[in-house]
Structure 1
């Protein structure tokens, strides 16, 4: 710029600005200088700089301000209860995937042999390890470990991550699994395997029904009993027959459902409707597996009761002898040593005496009022557990027999009602399964708890398909309750298949 005493004028220079100034000049008769354009441009530029500076300051204040109504750049913290629900949902879904995958794998192994399914068995084991670790984290979490909130959040994230890995492992194998089954090309062979197993179960049903009737007559007029385990713990133990009440009827319900869907699969295959045939076959296979579980539960109980009846006298005599030796002055032995090194109360000893006396009276008395040998063993074991006398000898064998039966009972109930059973029951079941390997006497309580919690879940869930009775929907309620069908549609939804969350619904109807 050049300066004089009058008006500013633009300095003469080349380039775009000078050219613009030249275009802006007019003659002396009516006119505007190029400087008149430059000054407004400079003013506008100054305003822009100030506006930009103000925007930057406002943005910085907004990022750090905590005034209500101002959105912070920090993401909101998810409440802990929400994370707990997400972890619980992940555990239930992963457990369902594993159970469904095991069921379908059994049909494939029956057709192709153990060697052919080894990769899928290996994938299942790896997924089981991940899920077991996730449940172990939840067990510790339920006992308050860890305590700090940040660490508890990490624990919940670990649960979700391990469940995701279990599902991913199964999802990875799903394509190879379908390739082995080759249902699109070999439907008749797969149907033959399912139909053979269906016929075998149908033939067993009458015999199992007679077995159950005999068990009721022999053992179960007696009411349920409540056994105190210690001063702070008690467990309600129903008589053994109640654990399989209605199981034969439920097995028949699953077999009716299987009949319908096996017929549908045959008809669809004959018509060349491959997708429909596969869906019907998978639904039938799931129902057949669960009918087998119901019938096996009755047979397992009958065998456990027979074994318990033989074991009760020796267990009772051994327990009485242990207490007598331990309370005799100068006596020696494992239980006496235990009594000497623990703060056992006279109440616990008195309770053990009372329990053993009651079982002795039942054993030698009139059985017309009911005698449940499994329950008798359970009461002996639980009475002796606080005394530390269940790790050796006949008491150890009794503890193993009772716990094995009760863990199996809880697992079978969860498997056949998994569409309604939540995470608490499954967590207690996992705890019982882990204890069964290390401390069978302690496994009985979480096993009974798991069964009770699962039954509560089923009662709360109800049966939205209870009114379905035509040939296409008969048994749908039980199939949804059992997790055979996902329950997303009026007809029960898609049947579930081998795989994780991303692949287990692949046998459903194609999206429209």
Structure 2
């Protein structure tokens, strides 16, 4: 048995030694790779600064400084592994793991910082090509401006100034942007020749962006004509559908909401201009869609209400009166026994009072004196009144429970109350009331 365990221990030691050797090899390889990466990145930084300027390369410069600092720690750890002082296997293992960690971190930082500059560097290298492309795009777009002006003039004969407002000035704005793009391209070229690479790149970016914006403005003019025709076609279909919707809505259950929605849709239809008049199909389409949506919602609400009968006014009034009576009783009992009433009863009463106040706000007047409640508010008003009554009744029940549990018990077993019999019952009730008042006043005096 001892030989078995000894053999197993030797195998584990050999396996650990092999792992340590592999870790040491990985640490050495990582250290060489990271050091070489720093040297290469230093050269890339010099080129990037020449192309982009120091401000654009600040992140890479800071990252490179941090990596050098941490790689210095890795070199010091590696030196400790090979100095004349003997080290334990655990010490070597810890240092090599730290070296690998530092080198991996260095590679990650440099990858992140250099990739962020890669596109800018590539763009800077292609600056002459980009400048030539900008000038070519300017020439092509400038040739489209007369056509865009003609399109706007043609559209002005068909559509209102409000509809054309989004594209009417596009040709003039595009022409200004193209002029700015040409100027920026020339500035970029001159700054690049003067060695002012950072300013050259800024001017080049401004030039390219101006070309993109000019192209978008000219495209918008062409797209407007197509979108306007599509809106007119859609508008014609919606007008026909809306007229049919009005006919159907008149047959639906009558309600003020449905009538209001019908009036709004009819007003939207009546506001459509006659044939031959400059129109704004986008605004008209939006108005009709909004009116149609309102009518659909009103009809749905009317159908739902028809499926659920509206409570009669008398029922709502009775529910409110019952709620007020329940609330008054609960208030009186709790106010008369303040010293005996716990948190549960007080909480139910407070919630009941809050909902009662909300009921007045919901109706816009005092619910107790309201003689008219419109149909749209009756169901909610009745639900709120019933909730008030329920919470008040629950508060009263909890208050009575607290009062019963707080009454003094007869120490001689003479039945309820202190005197026993009927007299004791009356004395017990009066004692509870007086006791509650006394205890309440004492507590109020303590905490005031």
TM-score under structure 2 length normalisation:
0.38
Higher fraction of helix: 2
Larger Rg belongs to: 2
Higher relative contact order (CA 8 A, sep 6+): 1
